[in-house]
Structure 1
Amino acid sequence: MNNSTQPTPDTIDTNCQENVDKNRALYIFYSSVVVLEFILGLLLNITVIHLFIFKLKFWKSKTIDIFLFNLVLADILLLIGLPVKAYNFQQCSEEKVVCKVQLFLQFINRGASIAFLTVISIYRYFSVVHPGKRKVLRILKLSPQISVFIWVLLGILTIPAMLQSFIRCNSSEKDELTTIVLLREIVFFTQIFIPFFVLVYCSIRIIKRLKQKSVGDKTKLWRAMFLVTSVVLVFAVCFLPYAFTRVVQLKISGLVMKEEKVTVVKLFDGLLCLSYLNCLLDPILYCLSSSKFKKLYISMYLPFLLEKEQPESSEDTADD
């Protein structure tokens, strides 16, 4: 297909269906992974958000609880679109309205998930490394206002990308490079790479500060260091390979063999499935890592594990 021509739903559906038919077993596997992520992620996130609303009353709680609530909410809204993605992997449905809704959910809620993850890391950074900077901490404690600002900003950045006459749901075709497409890709890469560097910087500084502050309590130190490091590793595993593959996909030209294009598309779709794993791991890393929240969660949903739980200190340096 000539890249100078805007793809139509019919041609995209044909090329997508041809790709899926040739790799039926692989795309059934991708679809199964997405369905599994949807089921497990939705169950975990819904139970966590239930505790935030009815037990912790997050709006009356600490600043970080409001950010955590919005992080979990973003993950739930992202998970809602996964059944459509799973169906897409098998049937290549390109119904225009469904396509745009699914992409809107994917763009805005993945962006919100990453944004709140980043804000939480920045808040912890100033709380641990620079507790004396009261002006910055007072700003960060305006968590309701900051949360609203993040959602509005992401909505503004996402809506223009949905205004194209047609926007693809599958990875098998390349969009014509227009201003809208360029804006969409800039937003995509900005919301992955900049937060990653922020996370790495904040994590390194937090770990250094915790080592200086911790005297004798090695268990608490290692637990806090493990949490901070795990956040960076999960982000790197879920999003960086996906983003780098997207770079390769965008650079593919007409000189590249069709088989090589198909290989990149298959890899991109697989890494896209991996990126959804973030929705499953966020509640574990950010909510269940807190001793207080973990005990509340187990008492509510897994009471049979209570006898096995050992008493832990209620203080959690990395989580406050």
Structure 2
Amino acid sequence: MNNYSQNYHNESLTRRQEPQNCYMDNTSLRIPLAVFYTLFFLFGFAGNLLALWVFLRLHPKKNSVRIFLINLALADILLVICLPFRVAYHFNNNQWVLPSLLCRIVGNVFYMNMYISIALLGFISVDRYLKFHRASSRRWFLQSHWSAIVCGVLWAVSIAGVSPFIVKTENNNETHQCFQYKKLCDSKWKAYFNFVIVAIFWVVYGALVMSYGRIGMKLITASRDKPDFPNAAKYNKTAWKSFFVLFTFTVCYAPYHFVRIFYIMSQMAPNVSCNKMNVLDKTNEVVLLLSALNSCLDPVMYFLLCSSIRKVTLKFICNCFCQQTNNALNSSSDEQPKIMTVVPKTICQDIKKATIIIK
């Protein structure tokens, strides 16, 4: 009986020594995170909203890439909508004053749309690879209605997967905190689920490296082997655009998922020093910021990769600019048009030339 009491005392002492209530000091990151998330929200929301409007209203051509890009823009919009809550949280000295349910909704919707964006970028890379190699045996994947079905299944699976995390309440005494480091010793199923998500990312990343890498290298080789070929310069330019997409994907997502492996392992480990937890928590916040940056870079990707999107966007800007200029000229005095007519017409002509050059 004495041995049993002694063992129980030692076990209780070990539990008390575990840094379960370790204080996470993120005061040095609080203001930078709030400022960057604010900028990401402004640029990401405006850029993706403009892209979504172009896809739905000004670019009626229906194909598989357009379906994927519409869903990608929608996922990015839903992601950046979550950022103001993070901004308010960091500006409020990392204090969550809203209901805890809203904290779980914001956190999980953020991650859900991030991984939907990752999956869609993977589908786009496969789609472009199959089109580039004219894979007739997989032509079904390139059809718009199949792309719509794939996107519908992706959204349904993502919502079903994230719902348990939102509905399930946690026994957390720190109700004033949100987005904080959490131990998962008693909920290891969450850790294993997160490991599966990380593994899926690396599979998608491998698909992007293979598809865009092969496309880029083949185009560069073709442009070098046949420099006198009419489309040699265009092949070289398209190749570097493919490398740009791969570069942005690597910068935004690869660091986060590399750190994520050690982050999840520390959540599962029974004994982790408080100092190590703080280092992993701060590192996770920084690399997560890079992941959110991708929502601002996706509209740039739309403009670079799709020549039809560039033509439609530039033409729309030209029409709006020229119309406003004509209205200003008509409403102005007789002396002002002599000064104003030179610059606006020149700009409009330059934009129209750009839309003709882009193919």
Give TM-score, length-normalised by structure 1.
0.83
Partner of 1:78: 79
Q: Which one of 131, 142, 152 corresponds to residue 127 of structure 1?
A: 131
Q: Which one of 211, 234, 240 corresponds to residue 254 of structure 2?
A: 240
Deviates more, 1:178-187 or 1:99-108: 178-187
Q: Which one of 274, 281, 288 corresponds to residue 265 of structure 1?
A: 281
Stretches of structure 2 lacking an aligned partner (at least 5 in a row): 1-13, 322-343
* Higher gyration radius (CA): 2
Q: Given the alignment of the two structures, is residue 158 of structure 1 paired with residue 162 of structure 2, yes or no?
A: yes
- Per the TM alignment, residue 135 of structure 1 is displaced from its structure 2 partner at its CA by 3.4
In structure 2, what is the Cα distance between the partners aligned to 1:139 and 1:195? 17
Aligned pairs for 1:135-154 (under 5 A) are 135-141=137-143, 142-154=146-158
Residue by residue over 1:176-213, the C-alpha shift from the partner in whole angstroms, topping out at 9 and shown as x without a partner, is: 35254134313430342111100001112212432455
In 1, are the aligned partners of 2:127 and 2:141 still within 8 Å (CA)?
no
Give TM-score, length-normalised by structure 2.
0.75
Residue by residue over 1:142-164, the C-alpha shift from the partner in whole angstroms, topping out at 9 and shown as x without a partner, is: 21111111111222222233343
Stretches of structure 1 lacking an aligned partner (at least 5 in a row): 316-320
Q: 1:79 to 1:306 in 2, by over 3 A?
A: farther
**Aligned residues between the structures:** 300
Residue by residue over 1:259-318, the C-alpha shift from the partner in whole angstroms, topping out at 9 and shown as x without a partner, is: 332122112111111110110111111344323312322343474765544546544xxx
SS of the residue 1:276 aligns to = helix
What is the CA RMSD across the aligned residues, in angstroms?
2.8
Partner of 1:114: 118
Partner of 2:101: 97
Deviates more, 1:225-234 or 1:284-293: 284-293
**Aligned partner letter, 1:55:** L
In 2, are the aligned partners of 1:4 and 1:176 still within 8 Å (CA)?
no
Q: 1:156 to 1:3 in 2, by over 3 A?
A: farther
Partner of 2:53: 50
In structure 1, what is the Cα distance between the partners aligned to 2:202 and 2:180? 21
SS of the residue 1:173 aligns to = coil
Residue by residue over 1:29-75, the C-alpha shift from the partner in whole angstroms, topping out at 9 and shown as x without a partner, is: 11110011000110111111111111113xx5222111111111111
**Aligned partner letter, 1:126:** L
Residue by residue over 1:91-128, the C-alpha shift from the partner in whole angstroms, topping out at 9 and shown as x without a partner, is: 33173211111122112211111111111100100110
In 1, are the aligned partners of 2:40 and 2:296 still within 8 Å (CA)?
yes
Partner of 2:184: 175
Q: 1:314 to 1:169 in 2, by over 3 A?
A: same
Partner of 1:194: 203
Q: Which one of 256, 277, 283 corresponds to residue 293 of structure 2?
A: 277
Q: 1:28 to 1:269 in 2, by over 3 A?
A: same
Partner of 2:337: none
Partner of 2:331: none
Deviates more, 1:48-57 or 1:167-176: 167-176
Q: 1:244 to 1:177 in 2, by over 3 A?
A: farther
